[in-house]
Structure 1
């Protein structure tokens, strides 16, 4: 494949995604809505993630002058296009222009990329900065350069500010430096990179120190290290899911490249890239075995992984590159159409993003009809959509405060409790999925309903008019 052909493919797929984004009829996913809310309160850290994704959304929605869903999700396809170009540049350090072109075209069609081009996630900027780091690092393996060392440090620091999953790359990177002479760079350049990365990451580290280690604690909670038990089927499920995440041919090629490394038949640059990819898959598979892991947790592996998979296929099975692109490309072209017709999809990732705004709008209508100006909820999904859907209303939105450490960003930042300024007799609409009991006063059930479609299908929702005294921190 020529570089020009690859650029045409990247541009065509990106434009296709953006065109269909204009017809998207789904609501924001709970995480997307939360990231948008963060972008309205810029900081160096947030409850569950570092700040990069909020900064990006703030830049795009600020430039657009709108917080509509289309502008929030536009970040995905645009940044993925930049990711593909950056990976092409990194690949060009170690392989031919033709192979580098295949890297860009293959990446833009990877199933995980197709999904996160629809639902903007922290994996997208993470991969960009990993690709930037790879480009600088691979250059440093060939020559000393203060400029490349600065870029490498900036890439590592910004990747850290995107998602802590960057840290999964460190064990493999350290082993590559130890075992492969060609992986080593000048001590001066390494020191410069470390200092720059530390300076870039420092504001987030300081934020965590001044906020009770909120992001670190949340990361530990979702990892469920306090509930360790052997779960071999979960490990197999995670490992198998990587066939869908990366694409079956590319992932199989990555695994085979690892096999060739064990047999000492891989080239030095392939071995370097393998140490920056396969160990991540191994570590997350181990995490799935003993606790919990989501399919996308190994995303940091697939920057270097995409390059080495393409290099191996180009050398041993060139036709595999065409077959892989045909398969993943078909998915990349078909999937963006689905959010325009969510009612035609009985279940799945698109269907779960429907019906959320409907609940928020009904809650607002009920509050106004009852003469209430405050809506409180104990449900993170509901809170996420309430804040975005009702962003232009005059209603005050609050989370029921917990008794101990906050369980989410809303409880941390927008708690509703007497110690946080609520008056004992103050009335609010309480939106919940559980019946409300209160000894202090009898709450008035305004309505309960069970949606027949969308994310809340078959789930009963309750809306109460109640006093602040009934919504005190729960244990």
Structure 2
């Protein structure tokens, strides 16, 4: 089993290195890079360790994704090895290699470090505390106390969520007579005090900033009202962990909690209570952000008990358990490979699982560089939200890109940090008379709120100039660039165009021969001159624009009661007939080209249609 473990360890590490070198930067990674370029003991969203590691990576390897991720990959590589050592000491060498192998195959732990996120260090900190706790149950010594202090400190410097490991770990030690004995020892108390002191930077940050970080993590992001989404927990975890492995880990926790060995009960109770706690939390907590990785520390604590359960299974079941886990790990790595390939990512543009937080940043950076090159020297760059600011900052190696107020800055807890860095901008009043390139992430707000967002921008910066629209992956990721020449603009709010295709619906089958296209489009402030229909990026029909569409203006009512200000309302409908020529059957992309009366030309996001065979 030793050779199997090291072969798996090497293979998984090589695969992760290859994927991490090509995978586009995730938005949270970009913000942690930005935090690392503004050194501090703690930040609005996290303690400082993740940002420090990100800074270390780019200082050693340059501003590139693999260098940013390198410290996290190195930490993640230690996790299965340490788990194997812990298991071997408690349950024998063979069981140690088996547990370590499953730490590599478990998809959530096998992909640790692939992204520069806090989870890798949290996993390592959890194992250090787990190992120290198991040692302390037998005998209190200086080595165990130091290891406990290190684990507690690293966890405290990684994430607020590590509080769950600390709280459950303390509870389990209190439940065990050996644990209560250990907690009375001055060396253990000293280790706990050292671990507690590691929270001081985060506590100080919150005291200095009206508890903004704590309120976001524990109050603002959670509804704290019962909802039934928690019922999905078991199904999601069974899928991510894989059904056989999930069942085996649950069985390990159930049986281990009744075992006479203190160490076995310790592992079982710690792992089971963490998983159960996050299951209960799922009925009351945030459902809008990714949370499927939260129970990972619990599964890590149960892995040392896994070989004891698998030993009772028939050989075919053990083989199936390992095979499914390996297949799931390869599937997750394959997902990241697909995200890294623009052509594969574009094919998913019409799917719910489209990876928006990975997509479009390279294309945006190229467009911004080209636009800045065409503008006067000294043009300032302003982003409309923290995602755009951080991703462009990484691409342009500029951690000081200013950011406007945006709902997602608050939703993700980044607004206080932007203000502390002096990067928050209220609008034109802040940037003065010089030329500015404003970059807007149009798909970062729900479509029903997009017109309101454009009018909010007008309130901040005045009427918007004709935009340059960048559609990535058929417009699933959509950016709008506004070049301000420095002179204040006056007049009514002029926004980018808004549109909708009523017929055919996305994914509909059309043809053969010809098909009708109907919908509506408008442009607040100036109106539209004409609408063209596009298929696969080329104009295929001139629409008849100006059909009466009652109800469109009334639907687009702003927060203050004002309605869409396109002067052509209600004549904003269009219809066209597309004659199919030599287009092959299968999936094609239907879009619009919208010509504004101010001279702007905007390509609308495309939607998939299926052409029938003649």
TM bin, normalised by shorter chain, reads: 0.7 to 0.9
Task: Give the structure 2 partner of residue 461 of structure 1.
Answer: 480
Cα distance per residue 1:51-85 (max 9 Å; x no partner)? 11122222232222x01012123334322211111
1:149-191 Cα shifts (integer Å, max 9, x gaps): 0221121111111112111123432332233224445322321
In the TM superposition, what are the counterparts of 1:151-300 in structure 2 within 5 Å? 151-186=147-182, 187-188=184-185, 189-221=187-219, 223-224=221-222, 227-232=223-228, 234-260=229-255, 264=258, 267-293=261-287, 294-300=291-297
Bigger strand fraction: 2
Displacement of 1:128 in angstroms is 0.7
Q: Which residue pairs with 2:99 in the alignment?
A: 103
Q: Please tell me whether the aligned partners of residues 256 and 267 of structure 2 are also in contact (alpha carbons under 8 angstroms).
A: no
SS in 1 for 2:471: coil
Aligned to 2:108: 112
Q: Distance in 1 between matches of 2:214 and 2:459?
A: 37
Query: How far apart are residue 464 of structure 1 and its match?
Result: 4.7
Q: How does 1:311-350 map to 2 (within 5 A)?
A: 311-316=308-313, 320-333=317-330, 335=333, 337-345=337-345, 346-347=347-348, 348=353
Give the aligned partner of residue 400 of structure 1. 404
Deviates more, 1:351-360 or 1:272-281: 351-360
Q: Distance in 2 between matches of 1:164 and 1:319?
A: 41
Aligned position for 1:69 = 65
The question of whether the paired residues in 1 share the 8 Å contact of 2:47 and 2:201 is answered with: no
Task: Look up the match of 2:86.
Answer: 90
**If you compute each CA radius of gyration, which structure gives the higher value, 1 or 2?**
2
1:365 aligned to which of 367, 370, 377: 370
> Structure 1 pair 252/53, CA: closer, same or farther in 2 (3 Å)?
same
Deviation at 1:379, TM superposition (A): 1.9
Partner of 1:38: 35
Counterpart in 2 of 1:382? Answer: 388
Higher relative contact order (CA 8 A, sep 6+): 1
3-state secondary structure, aligned to 1:289:
coil
Greater shift after overlay, 436-445 or 50-59?
436-445
For the Cα contact (< 8 Å) 1:451–1:458, is it kept in 2? yes
Within a 5 Å distance, the mapping from 1:1-20 to structure 2 comes to: 1=1, 3-20=2-19
* Aligned equivalent of 1:132: 128
Gaps of 5+ in 1: 471-475
Q: Does 1:29 align with 2:26?
A: yes
**Secondary structure in structure 2 of the residue aligned to 1:461:** strand
The Cα shift of 1:457 comes to: 1.4
Q: Equivalent residue of 2:430, what SS?
A: coil
Deviations, residues 370-392 of structure 1 (Å, cap 9, x unaligned): 32621222223212211111116
- SS of residue in 2 equivalent to 1:425: coil
Kindly indicate whether the alpha-carbon contact (under 8 Å) linking 2:107 and 2:240 is maintained by their aligned counterparts in 1. yes
1:11–1:81 Cα contact (<8 Å) kept: no
Q: How many residues align?
A: 460
After TM superposition, give the deviation of residue 20 of structure 1 in Å: 4.1
Question: Which has the higher mean CA deviation after the structures are superposed, 155-164 or 369-378?
Answer: 369-378
Q: 1:311 and 1:461, CA in 2 relative to 1: closer, same or farther beyond 3 A?
A: farther
How far residue 248 of structure 1 moved from its aligned partner, in angstroms, is 2.5
Q: CA deviation at 1:89?
A: 1.7
Q: Bigger CA drift: 121-130 or 175-184?
A: 175-184
SS at 1:120's partner residue? coil
Cα–Cα, structure 1 residues 321 and 383, in superposed 2: closer, same or farther, change >3 Å? farther
TM-score normalised to the size of structure 1?
0.86
In the superposition, relative to structure 1, how do residues 13 and 77 fare at CA in structure 2: closer, same or farther (>3 Å)? same
User: Does the residue aligned with 1:149 lie in a helix, a strand or coil?
Assistant: helix
Change in 2 beyond 3 A, CA 1:417/1:440: closer
Structure 1 12/200 Cα, relative in aligned 2: closer, same or farther at 3 Å? same
- Which residue pairs with 2:302 in the alignment? 305
Conserved? CA contact 1:450–1:460, under 8 Å: yes
Q: Contact 2:254–2:268 at 8 Å: present in 1 too?
A: no
Aligned mates of 1:298, 1:442 — CA distance in 2: 47
Alpha carbons of 1:20 and 1:397: their partners in 2 closer, same or farther (altered >3 Å)?
closer
State the TM-score, normalizing by the size of structure 2. 0.67
